[in-house]
Amino acid sequence: MSDILSASPRPNATLHLAHDLNEEQRAVVEADPQPLLVLAGAGTGKTRTLTYRVARLVARGCPPPRLMLMTFTNRASREMIMRVQRILAVDMRQCAAGTFHHVGNRLLRQYADTIGISSDFGILDPEDCRDLLSGLIAERGLHKLSTRRFPSAKALHAIVSLSAGTRIAVEEVLRRSYPRFVEQTATIVQLAEAYAARKMRINVCDFDDLLVLWLRLLQHGRRPQVQELLGRFDHILVDEYQDTNALQGAIADAMASHSRSLTCVGDDAQSIYDFRGADVGQMLGFKQRHPDARLMTLTLSYRSIPEVLALSNRSIAHNKEQHQKSLRPVRAPGPRPALLALRDVFQQAEFVAQRVIELHHERGIGLGDVAVLYRNHSHSLELQVELTRRKIPFVIRSGTRFFEQAHVKDVIAFLRARANPHDELAWNRLLRLWPGMGMQTAQRLAEQLSKNSNAPSAPSAFEWATREGTTMVRDSMQRLTTLWSALDGMGETGPAQTGPSEQIRTIVEHHYGAYADHNFTDAPRRREDLKNLASFATRYARDIDLLRELALMEGIVVDQDESNQEPGEKLVLSTIHQAKGLQWRHCFVLWLARGKFPAMHTLRSARSMEEERRLFYVAVTRAADELYLCYPTLDEGHATPLRLMTPSPFVTELDHDPPVMDQWEIEETPA
Ligand code: ATP
Ligand code: MG
C-alpha cells in the first residue's frame, strides 16, 4: 500500500464534498479551525463527517502527523484513517490516531522524563491492578473484613479509577457512589495512596495513569517541552465525545490550547459509560469551557429506515435528561420492527438461527450484514450452541466464547473425567484446582487415575492417592473423594442418573465456588456464568449428551479460526457496548425481559434506568434495514423452575398508537 501512497496529497487529489456530504455535514467539514461541537443523533453521519474533515485538512496542506484523532476503539480510528487514505491516496499512518489511552501511551514514552517518570514503564491490565490491590489489602490484614464493610480489590480498583476519570477526590467518590464504605474513608484513601506509590516504585502504569500522567504532563511538565508538544499538533478531533470523562475532556481541551482547533462530535442519547465516569456534562459544558465555541448539528438520518427511527425516537423520548433533536429520515420506508415473545431462551436461539438462515438463503443477505446484540456476554450462550449446531459461522465481539473460558472448562473437566476416566487431560485440569497440587503432582496423579480408574464412580479410585503426597495433597484428595461421592450419590435416590445440571451445581457448591472466590478477582461474574451453565445443562438428561455437544463446539472453533480471512461472511454476536458506532443491515436484540435488560440492579434508580434506556437506544439504532426485538417468556431457572418473565419496560412503553412494531407469532416447535 505504502508505495502507491505519498506523504502529502497528490496535486489532483480532490474531495467531492458536494457529492459525498449534505449541506450541514459540509458546513462542519469546512468550518474554520476553532472549538467546534457537533451534537447529532444516531446515524446522521457524525463519524463520516469527522473523517471528511480530516481528509479536507490534509488535502489543504496539513501533514498527517500534525493531526490527532481520538476515537472510542483503535479499530474505529483505523477505519477512519484508511478511509482518508483511500480518498486522498496519502499515507496517513503517521497521524496520531487511536483511543485516548493509545495516543497517551505513545506521547508519554516520548515525554515521560519531563514529569520525572521513566519512559520504559510497564502497563498493568485491570487484572494486574486487582492483583496488586489484593496484595496491599492483604498486607494490611483487611482481606478478613467482609466485602460489605470493606471494598474488594475489584471494587477498590473501580473507586480509584472513577476518581481518576472524574477528577474527583476518592473521599468524594465514596460519598457519592459508594456510601456503604464511607466509614472506611481514611483507610481507603490511604490504600489508594499506597497503590499509587507502589506503581511508581515498580515503574508501572495502569490504564488510568496513561491519561492522568498525560494531563499532568500538559499542566506541570517542563515548559519548553510542553510548548514543543503542543506545537506539534494543529488539529485535535474527537469522535463519540459523549462518552469521554472529565479527564479525557480536560486532555482534549489542553491539547488544543495552542491551536484552538478542537472538533468534537457526539450524541448525548448514546452516552453509555456513566458507570465508568463518562460524563455527558463534558458535552453540555463545552460552551462554558470554550466561550468562542461553535455548536453545530446534523439532522438527516442516513442509517436506519424511518420505521426503525420511529421506534428509536419513541424509546429515547422516555428519558427526561436528553436534548431534543430533530431527525429526518433519508431512507425509503421499509418493514416495521418485529417484536417476538418466545417460549424460552432456547426458542429465542432457534428463532434467531432460523431467521438468519432465511435471510441468508432466501434473500441473499450476507452473514456479515447481520448482528445479534445483547446486554451481557452470557446472554449469548444458548445462541452460540444453536449456531454451532446449525453450522452457521459467527464471530463474537463480546469476549471469549463462553465455553472457552477457564472457569467453564474447569467445571466441565469434572464431568469429562466422570464420563471418561481415561481422559488424562481432564484429570490433570481438575486436580490442579486443589490446594497442594503443583503441576508435577497433578500430572503424576492424572496419569495414574487415567490408567487405574475402571470404576471411577467409586471413591476407592482415589484411595491410593490419599495415602501419598504431602498432608495438603492428602487433604485435597480426601475432599475430592467426598465430592465424588456426592456426585455419585445424586443418582442413588432419584432416577438412575441425575442430569449434568445438578452435577455442575454440586461441583460449584462443594468446591469450585470457593476456589473461584479465592483465585479470581471477578469471582461473582464467574459464579453467575456457572449458574447459567447449570441452567443451560438442564436441557441434557445425561452428562455425555452435554459433553458431546461441547466437543462439537470445540471442533467448530477451529474451523472458524481458519475462515478468519473472510470476516464479512460471519454473523456478528456482540454486546451493545462493543457495537457502539457500528451498523448492520439486520439486527436482533436478545433477552428484552425485565431484570435482564434492563438489568436487575438498575431497576431501582431513575438515573441508571436512563442509562439502560440509552443502551437500548444504541442497540436499536445499529439497525439499518430490519430490527427484531426478542424476549423469552419463561425462564427455566435452576432454583425456581419455570419462572414467568415480564417483557422489558423498554418494549412495553413503546406500545401505543401509532404502532412502531409488529408482534410476530411463532409456531410452537415440538419440544
Ligand atoms: P453513530 O451515532 O451511530 O455513531 P454516526 O452519526 O457517526 O452514527 P455514521 O456512522 O457516520 O453516523 O453514518 C451512518 C451511515 O450513513 C453510514 O453508512 C454513512 O456512510 C452514511 N451516511 C452518512 N452521511 C451520508 C451522506 N451524506 N451520504 C450518504 N451516506 C451517508
Ligand atoms: Mg459514529
Mean pLDDT across the stretch 500-512? 93
**CB–CB of 558/439 below 8 Å?**
no
Atom of ligand 1 nearest to the CA of 622: 3
**pLDDT tier, 253 (very low <50, low <70, confident <90, very high otherwise):** very high
d(CA 40, CA 46): 7
Are the beta carbons of 626 and 584 closer than 8 angstroms?
no
CA of 436 to the centre of ligand 2 (A): 52
Whole-number Å distance, alpha carbon 465 to ligand 2 midpoint, is 60
> What's the confidence (pLDDT) of residue 37?
96
More confident residue, 656 or 275: 656
Q: What pLDDT is recorded for position 587?
A: 98
CA of 132 relative to ligand 2 center, distance in Å: 36
HEC states along 404-452? HCHHHHHHHHHHHHHHCCCCHHHHHHHHCCCCCCCHHHHHHHHHHHHHH
Res. 492: pLDDT tops 90: no
Q: Whose CA is nearest to atom 4 of ligand 1?
A: 581
Average confidence (pLDDT) over 406-415: 91
> pLDDT-derived band of residue 394, with 50, 70 and 90 as boundaries?
very high
Which residue has a Cα nearest atom 26 of ligand 1? 21
Q: How far is the CA of 585 from the centre of ligand 1 (A)?
A: 13
Point out the ligand nearest to the CA of residue 46: 1
Verify cis geometry, omega within 30 degrees of 0, for the bond prior to 435. Answer: no
593: β partners: 647
Report the pLDDT averaged over residues 316-322.
87
Look at the pTM and tell me if it is higher than 0.75.
yes
pLDDT tier for residue 661 given thresholds of 50, 70 and 90: very high
What pLDDT does residue 493 have? 39
How far is the centre of ligand 1, averaged over its atoms, from the C-alpha of 568 (Å)? 19
Give the pLDDT band (50/70/90) at residue 260: very high
Between 146 and 444, name the one with better pLDDT: 444
Given pLDDT bands bounded at 50, 70 and 90, which one contains residue 565? very low
pLDDT, position 458 = 43
Closest-CA residue, ligand 1 atom 11, reads 45
Is the confidence at residue 217, as pLDDT, over 90? yes
Atom number of ligand 1 nearest to Cα 50? 11
- The rounded Å distance from CA 42 to ligand 2 centre is 7
Q: Which ligand is nearest to the CA of 267?
A: 1
Distance 137 CA to ligand 1 centre (A): 48
Residue type at 349 in one-letter notation: A
Ligand 1 centroid, distance to 664 Cα (angstroms): 30
Torsion angle, CA of 587/590/592/593, rounded to 10 degrees?
170
Res 537: pLDDT: 85
- For residue 53, pLDDT beyond 80: yes
Beta strand pairing status for 67-70 and 96-98? parallel
Q: What pLDDT score does 10 carry?
A: 56
Under the banding of pLDDT at 50, 70 and 90, the label for residue 2 is: very low
* 40 CA from centroid of ligand 1 (Å): 11
pLDDT value, residue 1: 41
- The answer, yes or no, to whether residue 604 has pLDDT greater than 80, is yes
Percent of the chain residues past pLDDT 90, beyond the cut: 53
List the grid coordinates of 450.
487415567
Ligand 2 centroid – CA 239 distance (Å)? 7
- 227 φ/ψ sector (left φ>0, alpha ψ -120 to 50, else beta): alpha
Output Rg (C-alpha) for the chain, integer angstroms: 28
**Contact yes or no for 28/57 (Cβ under 8 A):** no
Selected residue with higher pLDDT from 592 and 564: 592
Atom of ligand 1 nearest to the CA of 22: 27
Which ligand is closest in space to the CA of residue 71? 2
Q: In terms of Cα–Cα distance, which of 38, 473, 49, 548 is closest to 295? A: 38
Query: What is the structure's pLDDT at 74?
Result: 79
Q: Please give the average per-residue pLDDT across 329-341, as a whole number.
A: 96
CB burial class (10 A; 0-12, 13-18, 19+) of residue 361? Answer: exposed
Please tell me the residue having the least CA distance from ligand 1 atom 24: 45
Pocket test of ligand 1: the residue of 23, 37, 47 to mutate, having most ligand atoms within 8 Å of its CB, is: 47
Residue with the bigger pLDDT between 134 and 510: it is 510
Q: What is the pLDDT of residue 643?
A: 80
pLDDT of residue 57 exceeding 60 = yes
The closest residue, in CA terms, to atom 19 on ligand 1 is 45
State which of 46, 48, 73 you would mutate to test the pocket of ligand 1, scoring each by most atoms of that ligand within 8 A of its C-beta. Answer: 48
Mutate to test the pocket of ligand 1, among 75, 302, 578 (most ligand atoms within 8 A of CB): 302
pLDDT at 273: 84
202-216, 353-367, 388-402: least confidently modelled range: 388-402
Mutational test site, ligand 1, from 303, 304, 308, max ligand atoms within 8 Å of CB:
303
Mean pLDDT score, 127-132: 80
Rounded-to-integer distance, Cα 427 and Cα 420, Å: 10
Residue range 67-97, pLDDT digits in tens: 999 998 877 898 999 999 999 989 998 999 9
- What is the average per-residue pLDDT within 98-124? 88
Distance (Å) from CA 121 to ligand 2 centroid = 33
Highest mean pLDDT out of 364-368, 434-438, 666-670: 364-368
Q: Stretch 503-508: mean pLDDT, rounded?
A: 94
| Residue 556, pLDDT score | 38
Helix, strand, coil fractions of the chain, as percent rounded to 5: 55, 10, 30
pLDDT at 400: 63
> For the residues 272-288, what does the mean pLDDT come to?
81
**What does the mean pLDDT of the chain come to?**
86
Instruction: Determine which residue's CA is closest to atom 14 belonging to ligand 1.
Output: 43
* CA angle centred on 390, ends 343 and 545, rounded to 5°: 75
Ligand 1 atom at minimal distance to the Cα of residue 21 = 27
Which ligand 1 atom sits closest to the C-alpha of 48? 11
> How much distance in Å is there from the Cα of 304 to the middle of ligand 1?
10
Residues with CB under 6 A from ligand 1: 21-22, 25, 42-48, 267, 270, 302-303, 581, 621
Q: Whose CA is nearest to atom 15 of ligand 1?
A: 303
Instruction: Pick the ligand that lies closest to the CA of residue 40.
Output: 1
Which pLDDT does position 397 carry in this prediction? 77
Per-residue pLDDT band at 6 (split at 50, 70, 90):
low
Do the Cβ atoms of 424 and 446 come closer than 8 Å? yes
Mean pLDDT of 162-170: 95
In this structure, of 382-391, 534-543, 545-554, the range with the lowest mean pLDDT score is 545-554
**Alpha carbons 174 and 176: distance in angstroms, whole number:** 6
Confidence grade of residue 553 (pLDDT, cut at 50, 70, 90): low
Q: Is the pLDDT of residue 491 over 50?
A: no
CB-based burial, 458-494: b 16+ in 10 Å, e otherwise: ebebbeebbeebeeebeebbeebbebbeebeebeeee
- The pLDDT value recorded for residue 640 is 54
Look at residue 465 in the predicted model and tell me its pLDDT. Answer: 66
State the pairing for strand pair 300-301/571-575.
Answer: unpaired
- Please name which ligand lies nearest the alpha carbon of 583: 1
pLDDT number for residue 366: 94
Contact (Cβ atoms closer than 8 angstroms) between residue 586 and residue 626? yes
